[in-house]
Amino acid sequence: IRESATLTRDVLEQHFNDLKGTLKKLLDERLMSLLQEVDTIEQESIKPLDECQKLIEHGVSTADDLLRDGESAVHGDVGQQNEKLCSFTKKALHIQLDSLPEVPSLVDVPCLSAQLDDCLLTILKNQIFRHGTVASRPPVQLEEFVEKPGGILVRWCKVDDDFIPQDYRLQYRKSTATHFEDVYVGSETEFIVLHIDPNVDYQFRVCARGDGRQEWSPWSVPQIGRTTLVPHEWTAGLEGYSLSSRRNIALRNDSQSCGVLYSKAPTYFCGQTLTFRQVLSGIETVGQPDRRDSLGVCVEQQNGCDSLQRDKAVCVSTNGAVFVNGKEMTNQLPAVTSGSTVTFDMEVVQLGPSSNEGGNFKLRVTISSNNREVVFDWVLDQCCVSLYFGCSFLYPGWKVLVF
């Protein structure tokens, strides 16, 4: 409670500080815009009046000069009077003292004023008083963490019966990081977070968006999840396949070389779910299928084989055929296409005291693809709870993610 209360206070203070800064900036910008408008109107309106004033002042100055010339002609010497009077008369005839420039009518002269609507404060006050809420119980909470090789399956659930979710938003961060990042947004209530480092704590939280709404709900209580399982990796260096940087994606390239690409180690254990997902390659399509193509698991690597359709292996071909120890089963799954997901689940079936002493060893295998599944018992001659996985494709373009 104290941790969430402290975090909520920090969020509220940061939000309202940002809001105050933004409002001040907007008000300052509006003030500058109005002041510039006042300056523009003043300059445009005063210009003709200034010109009129200059003309009048020039006329008055000319009249003063003429008056002084007349006084000088009248009071001057008798010998110069005629000459001065003649000059005065000529000058007076060329000056129009009875004309004035056009002065704008008073109704045409602008009179500036500021029109400010006081209702803005009322509107802002009402909006501010309704802005923000504090929720004590988020409508969704994290429910379960399931360890996966190099990942964590996160499940969440709705805890508010009156809340109708439209989308969920899952975030996570490393224990040493300061910021959460989005890892999933959608309508599902579970998601496998990949690229998780083993034996490292990660913090998760989830929120939801109500039906028809834009804003997200409050975050759930953050919880810690971790995985102790190392990530699945393909073996590097096999000609014919290119791997991603994390070696969990294999792409069948244009090389003519063929063979089975195996896992780096027997990292698949009974009781886990092994998932192959066909993802788009650069050409945005899957490769041409072949009946020898295969995705599956095996007891040991056999580098001389070009397919997993052999002894001590179970696999699915790209056309959906299921093979157990090299023999095709009558049950068939949908063909593997772009975006297809194939999962393997296995559990040990005990056959008695001799099962671990060289006798028959049986695994219950469930293979699922596109909402269909086949279940069968895989009989081996030795105890085996950790297996290799592998794939083989004859033609380029196939791109498989394993997790």
What residue spans define the domains of the chain? 1-130, 140-227, 241-402
Question: DSSP assignment of 246-307, as one string?
Answer: TS-EEEE-S-S---PEEBSS--EETTSEEEEEE---TTSSPPPP-TT-EEEEESS--TT-SS
pLDDT of residue 97: 61
Out of 3.40.50.300, 2.40.50.140, 2.60.40.10, 3.30.160.270, select the CATH number for domain 140-227. 2.60.40.10
CA angle 94, 95, 98 (to 5 degrees): 130
pLDDT of residue 82: 73
The CA-to-CA distance between both ends of the chain, in Å, stands at: 37
Report CA dihedral (120, 123, 125, 128) to the nearest 10 degrees: -120
User: How far apart are the C-alpha atoms of 216 and 171, rounded to whole Å?
Assistant: 13
**What pTM does this model have?**
0.62
Cα→Cα distances 197→231, 295, 302, Å: 8, 26, 30
pLDDT of residue 355: 45
User: How far apart are the C-alpha atoms of 133 and 213, rounded to whole Å?
Assistant: 16
CB neighbourhood size of 85 (10 A)? 15
Token pair recorded at residue 367: 């293979």
pLDDT of residue 283: 45
pLDDT of residue 210: 87
Asked if residues 312 and 298 have their Cβ atoms less than 8 Å apart, the reply is yes
pLDDT of residue 103: 67
Token pair recorded at residue 96: 């129009």
Q: Could you give the 3-state DSSP secondary structure of residue 334?
A: coil
pLDDT in tens, the chain (403 residues): 788 788 889 989 999 999 999 999 999 999 999 999 999 988 888 887 787 788 888 888 888 877 887 777 777 666 666 777 777 777 777 776 666 666 667 777 778 888 888 888 888 888 888 887 777 788 999 999 999 999 999 999 999 888 899 999 999 999 888 899 999 999 999 999 988 999 999 999 999 998 888 889 889 989 999 999 989 999 998 999 999 999 999 999 988 888 999 999 999 999 899 999 988 655 455 778 999 999 999 999 988 888 999 999 999 999 999 999 999 999 999 999 888 999 999 999 865 554 444 457 899 999 999 999 999 999 888 888 899 999 999 999 999 999 9
Q: Which CATH architecture has domain 241-402?
A: Sandwich (2.60)
Token pair recorded at residue 15: 């939000």
User: How far apart are the C-alpha atoms of 16 and 52, rounded to whole Å?
Assistant: 54
Q: Same topology for domains 140-227 and 241-402, yes or no?
A: no
pLDDT of residue 65: 79
Q: Could you give the 3-state DSSP secondary structure of residue 117?
A: coil
C-alpha 297: how far from chain center: 37
